[in-house]
Amino acid sequence: MTLINNDIRSAASFLKNGELVAIPTETVYGMGANAFNPDAVKSIFAVKNRPFYDPLIIHTDSMDKIDQWGMFIPEILKPLTQKFWPGPLTVLMEKSWMISDVVTAGLPRVAVRIPNHALTLEMLSLCDFPIAAPSANPFGYVSPTTADHVKKHFDGKISMILDGGPCQIGIESTIVGVENGEVVVYRLGGIAIEEIEMEVGEVVIQTSSSKPEAPGMLMKHYAPAKKVTAIESQEELNAIDKKGCAFILFDLNVDDVPEDDIIYLSKASSHDEAAQNFYNALRAWDDKDSIQSLIVQRMPDFGLGRAINDRLRRAVS
């Protein structure tokens, strides 16, 4: 039986001993292991059924620790870390000898983040090692935004779930790096491109690859158990045969469908609220046999809507 509580000292102790602990962040829950322990990191891949070629993000609570571990933020990216750390920003930087190739899938750079979640930051302050933590879900499935989501898949398979409540952002972090002197966004996420560009100017967006340079770049990802179809317009929605369908909508309307089979991501038309609700909505009908497919509205393609559309594209793929 997996422990579920908010005891940060127990969580830190389990991690120190090479065991797995699911940790909350403001984005999604992560499947955490001591990043300095290659065997512990390998167990993440085994439990999640994640391929070893898909690299992981490491988490810590301070820039001082990043320096102590021999890693340095590229100069061009420092305005972003100064603005958005702690927060939903992940930075690719040259890895040090202390970081195992298991963490980086053999790549020369490691993805690093300081999350903005009070409970996890307090726990990280007790750890003299970084925590490798991809999302705490079976590989390819919808990311978890509550402790119950994690429990559904991993109860009895990991030592502990640190329960920090529902995630406030609900979409993974934005991942950035540098190539040929340009800022590159490898994953759209909890910080909008518009916010990134206000700090560093125009960026290159490079978010898909069969050989990922960063987490979250694979084409098929974030997919629920049901088939997903994306729509954009009221006309498309009206034309669909609605039998056996459930609906995830932003500002479109559907008639002649039971209320229980419709989720509106944000009745206030808020992209932030839509992001917070998106993954929970994708999971909502997993165990409902009468629903065969999900009809999901694409968001207006700006702000966090762009990151939601990215996840939707991968769920459909």
Cβ atoms 91, 112 nearer than 8 A: yes
Question: Exposed e or buried b for every residue in 141-177, given b needs 16+ CB within 10 A?
Answer: bbbbbbbebbbebbeeebbbbbbbeebbbbbbbbbbb
Q: Pick the closest to residue 21 from 168, 152, 158 (CA basis).
A: 158
pLDDT at 219: 75
Q: How many other CB atoms are found less than 10 A from the CB of residue 180?
A: 6
Of the CA atoms within 13 Å of residue 303, those in its CB half-sphere come to 11
pLDDT in tens, 137-153: 999 999 999 999 999 99
Cβ atoms 29, 144 nearer than 8 A: yes
pLDDT in tens, 52-97: 999 999 999 999 999 999 999 999 999 999 999 999 999 999 999 9
pLDDT at 209: 74
pLDDT at 54: 93
The CATH topology of domain 3-205 is DHBP synthase (3.90.870)
Crossing angle between the packed helical segments 147-154 and 271-283, to the nearest 10 degrees: 30
Q: Across residues 111-120, what is the average pLDDT?
A: 98
Q: Do domains 3-205 and 227-316 have the same CATH topology?
A: no
pLDDT in tens, 208-259: 776 788 888 877 788 899 999 999 999 999 999 999 999 999 999 998 899 9
Q: Across residues 279-302, what is the average pLDDT?
A: 96
Rounded to an integer, what distance in angstroms lies between the CA atom of residue 6 and that of residue 162? Answer: 5
List CB contacts of 202: < 8 A, sequence separation 6 or more. Answer: none
Crossing angle between the packed helical segments 304-316 and 271-283, to the nearest 10 degrees: 20
Question: CATH homologous superfamily for 227-316?
Answer: Threonylcarbamoyl-AMP synthase, C-terminal domain (3.40.50.11030)
Phi-psi map region of 303: left, alpha, beta (phi>0 left; psi -120 to 50 alpha): left
User: Residue ranges of the domains in the chain?
Assistant: 3-205, 227-316
Measuring CA to CA, how many Å separate 195 from each of 100, 200, 201, 290? 32, 9, 10, 42
pTM, two decimal places: 0.96
Rounded to an integer, what distance in angstroms lies between the CA atom of residue 250 and that of residue 199? Answer: 29
pLDDT tier for residue 314 given thresholds of 50, 70 and 90: very high
